[in-house]
Every structure is written in C-alpha cells, then in structure tokens.
A and B are shown apart, each in its own frame.
Chain A
Amino acid sequence: MATTAIAAADPAVDAVRRRPGLLRRFRRYPLPALGVLLLAALVTSAIGAPWFAGQDPFEMNVVDRLQPPSGDYWFGTDAYGRDIFSRTLHGGRVSLVIGVAVAAASTLIGLLIGVVAGYFRTADAVLMRIMDGLMAIPGILLAIALMSLTRASLWVVIVAITIPEVPRVVRLVRAVVLSVREQVYIQAATAIGTNFPRLMLKHILPNTLAPLIVQATYIAASAVLVESYLSFLGVGTPPEVPSWGNIIAEGRLYVQIAFWNILFPSVFLALMVLSINVLGDGLRDMLDPRLARRL
C-alpha cells in the first residue's frame, strides 16, 4: 500500500489546480480503482442474484448431489443437490446487507457518542468508561449470548456485530474532535458569533468525517468476515438462509470428496473483504489533505 501512497503523492500536487476527471483519478489510484471495480461486480452479482443465478438456491436435486462443477452446475452441487453457484450469489446478499448495516449503524452511533465525549469534557469520563467496558466483551461471546436469548435472525447478527464495533468508532471520533476543537478556526468561529449547532455542523463535523469514512469501510469488511465465522460456528445467520459462512459450514463435512463446496464461497468472501479494504486504503489516501484535499 505504501507504494501507491508514494506514487499518488506526486501527481496529486497539481490536483489542486485541475479538478481531476474520473478516468484520470483511476489512473492516479489504480489499486483502489481495481478494488472499486471488483466490489461493484460483487455487489451487482449479489443484488442481481435472483436473475443471474438461474436456479433456485433452495431447490434440491437429490440425484445430482455432490456433483463437481459442470456446464449445468457451474460451481457444482452440495450434499442435498443444491446449486452452489446460486447459493454463493445469494449468500453475497446476506454479506452485503450485514456489511452496510453494521458500518452504517456503528458509525452513526459512534459519531454521536464520540462527538459528545470529545466536546463535553464532563460526559467524556463516564462515556469512555462505558466504552472500555463494551470493548472488554468478546464479540463471539456476545453473539452466542444474544443467539441463546433470542431466535437467530439477521437482525440479531447485525446487533451482535455492531455492539463491539461502536467503541472503536467512538474512540476515533473522540480523538479527532479533541484535536479539532483546539484549532484556531474554532476560536475564530466563536469570535464571529457562530452558535453552537452551527459550530458543530459546519466546523467540527466536516473535519471529523474523512477518517470516519475510511473507518466505515474497514468496519464493513470486518463485519462481512465476522458474519461468516459466526455462521460457520452456528451462532450467526439462521442455517436455512444461504450465507457464505453457512455454505462453508455445511460444506466442511464433505471437503475431502467435494472441495468445491467450500472453495467458491471462500473465494467470494476473500475477494469481498479484500476489495473493501483496498477501497478503504484508497479513500484514506485520497481524503488525506496533504495528498489531495478535494475528492
């Protein structure tokens, strides 16, 4: 990643003058651009799964069980004769929903708490101790506890992954707000009579967002990963829903005679996480004011 940052630094100097077009930006940041393309393909395949997949992911053809990849079944079939290609594409929908929902929920909640903790020094001590407490709970344990208290559902998984992420966002936002509030332009805003809501909205929040957006992408990637290992352990997405973790968990039993059961969902999972992370790295470089202030 270091090489892209260095390579990007030089042309970014004249980015100040010319507002770069989409194509030029792609050339300047080739790796993030690749990540965006890959992610776009995965997202499209997940959203369009009912149309692209061809077969029903739940339809069992017991005659064709554990078939290797072929013209009929591109990724082969599982122990019940279900089409792995269709199941993998549909599994992407679960990952997508979880990634986006967890990233959105944890950044929103974290932003709110973080700004309050960073700006109001009295609230800070209490809020940060609560966050420390939350950080001490292992994510898996929390998921297992929630699962045993309620019925397994997508919502419970989202909540279980979001809760351990919130303190990380709070810490990040608080640190940024602490440094921003000491800036001279905040004093300047007070001197020209800026009221509190406007100070927050126009001066503090915009200067907090860049690192938060980058953090949100990393959270999305980690949420996708956490969902699959929770599902693999049987404490995640309900088993009847095809998610990558569930497909891998079921395929694990037959890995010696039908490795494709595990191979394809694993590859999709790896590509999804990789592409989101690469996108996050690219965003971090682009949002860094020293490299290019305007996106």
Chain B
Amino acid sequence: MTPVLDVAGLVKHYPLSAAWFGRARGQVRAVDGVSFAIGEGETLGLVGESGCGKSTVGKAVLKLIEPSAGSIRLNGEDITALKPAAMVAHRRRMQVIFQDPYSSLNPRMTAGNIVAEPLINFGIGNRAEQQERVAALFGRVGLRPDQRDNYPHEFSGGQRQRLGIARALALGPSLIIGDEPVSALDVSVQAQVINLMMDLQEEYRLSYLFIAHDLGVVEHISHRVAVMYLGKIVEVAPRAALFEAPRHPYTEALLAAVPVSHPRQRRRRLVLKGDVPSPINPPSGCRFHTRCPIAVERCRSEEPLLVADTDGHAAACHLREPAR
C-alpha cells in the first residue's frame, strides 16, 4: 500500500546572506537528508530540541518553503517540484495546524469566515451549504456555532486552536501536519486538544505528522516516533520500542531529561555536555559525536547510517547495531 506521505532525502539549506557583490559565504543546513513515511491513520511524532530542523521539515512538506533537494510524495504523487499554482490542488489533501493560535488566525476575519475560507477557495458548495458545513465543523471541534461572528481575539487560546483545527478539517484532508500544535497551550488545555485530535483521527482515518518537543505529549499521540538532531533523523521506532528501549545515545539523553512525576522516584541522570553545534558547520562523521558519552574514534570520521531492524526500529549509531 502506498503511504499517505513519503519523504525521501529531504534537504533544506539556507544560503547565508552574502556581502555586497560577494558570493554566499556558506549555508545553514537546517534539514540535511531526512526520510520517513506515514501510513493511513498513522501518527508519526517528530521530536528534537529547538533548531534541529523539525519545523523546517513540516514547512517543506507543506511546500510553504521550497525544499533544496529530495522528494515528497503525497498519496504516491510527487509534489516536490510543483509551482505554487499547481500546488493548490494538492492542498485539499494536506493541511496544517500551527503552533501559535494567536498569530495563525487573521485578526480582522470572523471565526466563521476563517473556517469557511478553504471552502470558498475551492468553490465547495454554495453559501448556504458552506454555512452549514462551518456550523458542523464548529460543533465537531467543540465550539458553539453561534460563536461564528466573533473575532479571534474574543476566544481563548484553546478555542483558537480548535478554530485552527476546524479550518484544517474543512477540506477533508487525509494528512494533517501539526507544527507543535499544543506547545503554546497550558497543560489542561493541551490534553483536551490532543484528545480531540485523536478522536478526529479515528473518525476520519487521518494521518498526522506531529511535530513537538514535549516527549510526554508525543508518547500519548504517536504510533511511531522519529528523533531529529542537527537536521538529521537519528532514530525512528514504534512508540513502545523508542520509549522503552531507545538505541541512540541522543534519544537516551532526551528521555532522561523528561521530568518524573513522582518526587521520590529517582532516575539515572544523563546530562549532555556542551551546546548543539552550529548547523552552518556540522561536525564530521556522526553529528552527535561532539556530545556523545560513548563516542569512539570511528564516530569522528564515518557517518553512521540509519538502519532498521525487522521491527522497524532504526538508529544511526555505529555502537548500537540493531539486534539481528
């Protein structure tokens, strides 16, 4: 079966602004060869610390920025090189929920118009049918239909994110990319929005690319999880395998940083030394070797490959070979 989304070797480099009349002095390698696939009804969690390129992956898949190399296939169709005008037709099948519900809604449009806009853009139904659909969407995401005439600033953060979800649902997409959709909300509201997203997934067989830095949230919603470090995926695994038996030392360090819920509970501390190296000039070999607690000489020169075992658990590490 063809996956809903199939990304292969995705690269996004930003040239550093050149001096006057000079050539670009280098480039920021925000995303440097990322491959993954998402099946129907599946959620892939994409985690990593700030600046590792996870949001860039989301924006490139949505073609809100142009990828530098690689291929993006949506339901088997290659959309990598499509011009903005040709891309419009594919946007019905792929939608997005943004991180900040305050800046992602036009302050001068009513809530009803915000949710109706995708329907208007694609000429779906007449005015009355559009209004009906908007009312149904409002009900589905837990907003009152009589709030349609309100402006975004009259809603709370959670309600605004529900508006964003209603807008993303309006076209009946098969894939929704959530670019940190709950990290701007407080914890109780996060849970409501996550549960809403999971209900909707079951109802409409949605696939999610769920970008986040909160491992707890990712563990709750994802079927599979990919961990990014400095523009590359270092480990991909089914949720249980990744959280219970992580293979990559970076994943171990990330998991060790999650706060424990019980005050008496102790856990092995694994604190990484130093800062994330610059993506302008990433380390040779394994990009993690500068901070890795178990790095050996080979890690400095040779780049490890992301090799999957039979369970679909893959880690890019020389020292943690998959069990065969």
Q: Mark B48-70, 1 if CB is under 8 A from A, else 0.
A: 00000000000100101000000
Given the complex, which residues of B lie within 8 Å of A183, measured CB to CB?
103
Nearest CB in chain A: distance from B150 CB, A: 10
Within 8 A of B (CB), among A201-220: 202-203, 206-207
Interface residues of B in 74-115 (CB under 8 A from A): 84, 88, 91-92, 95-96, 98, 100, 103-109
Residue of B nearest to A209 (CB): B108
A195 touching B121, Cβ below 8 Å = yes
Q: Are A191 and B107 in contact (CB under 8 A)?
A: no
Cross-interface CB contact of B91 among A184, A192, A206, A293, cutoff 8 Å:
A192
B151 at the interface (CB under 8 A from A): yes
Query: In the complex, are the beta carbons of B118 and A193 less than 8 A apart?
Result: yes
Residues A242-295 near B (CB distance < 8 A): 289, 293-294
Inter-chain CA distance A184–B109, complex, in Å, is: 14
CB distance from B65 to the nearest CB of A (A): 9
**Residues on the A chain within 8 Å of B92, using CB:** 193
Q: Render B165-188 as a binary contact track against A, CB cut-off 8 A, 1 for contact.
A: 001001100000000000000000
Q: Is A194's CB within 8 Å of the partner chain B?
A: yes
> Nearest chain-B residue to A194 (Cβ)?
B121
A195 to B88, CA, bound (A): 8
State how many residues of chain B have any CB contact under 8 Å with chain A: 29
Please determine whether A206 and B108 come into contact, CB atoms closer than 8 angstroms: yes
- Give the residues in chain B near A203, CB-CB below 8 Å: 106, 109
Q: A192-B117, A192-B118, A192-B171 are in contact. Are A187 and B107 (CB under 8 A)?
A: no
Q: Does B205 count as interface, using CB distance less than 8 angstroms?
A: no
B154 sits at the interface (CB 8 A): yes
Residue contact B109 to A293, C-beta cutoff 8 Å: no
Q: For residue A203, give the distance in angstroms from its CB to the closest CB of chain B.
A: 6
Bound complex: CA of A192 vs CA of B169, how far in Å? 10
- Contact B121 A191, beta carbon cutoff 8 Å: no
Q: Mark A180-201, 1 if CB is under 8 A from B, else 0.
A: 0001110111111111001000
Chain B residues near A198 (CB, 8 Å)? 121
A293 near B151 (CB under 8 angstroms)?
Answer: yes
Tell me which of B62, B106, B151 contacts A207 (CB under 8 A): B106
A189 and B106: CB pair below 8 A?
Answer: yes
In angstroms, Cα B89 to Cα A195, docked, is 11
Q: Which of A187, A192, A202 contacts B167 (CB 8 A)?
A: A192
Cα distance, A293 to B107, chains bound together (Å): 9
Give the residue of A16, A187, A191, A207 whose beta carbon is less than 8 angstroms from that of B108. A207
B204 at the interface (CB under 8 A from A): no
- Interface pair A185/B103, CB less than 8 Å apart: yes
A193 contacts B108, C-beta separation under 8 Å: no
Q: Give the Cβ gap from B14 to chain A, nearest Cβ, in Å.
A: 15
Q: Which residues of A contact B105 (CB under 8 A)?
A: 185, 188
What's the Cα separation between A15 and B79 when bound, in Å? 47
Given contacts A202-B109, A293-B153, contact A193 B121 (CB under 8 A): yes
Contact B151 A191 (CB under 8 A): no
Verify A184–B98 contact, CB threshold 8 A. Answer: yes
Residues of B within 8 A of A (CB): 59, 62, 64, 84, 88, 91-92, 95-96, 98, 100, 103-109, 117-118, 121-122, 151, 153-154, 164, 167, 170-171
Can you report 12 A-B residue pairs in the complex whose CB atoms are below 8 A from each other?
Answer: A185-B103, A185-B105, A188-B164, A190-B84, A191-B96, A192-B95, A192-B117, A192-B118, A192-B121, A192-B170, A194-B121, A202-B109
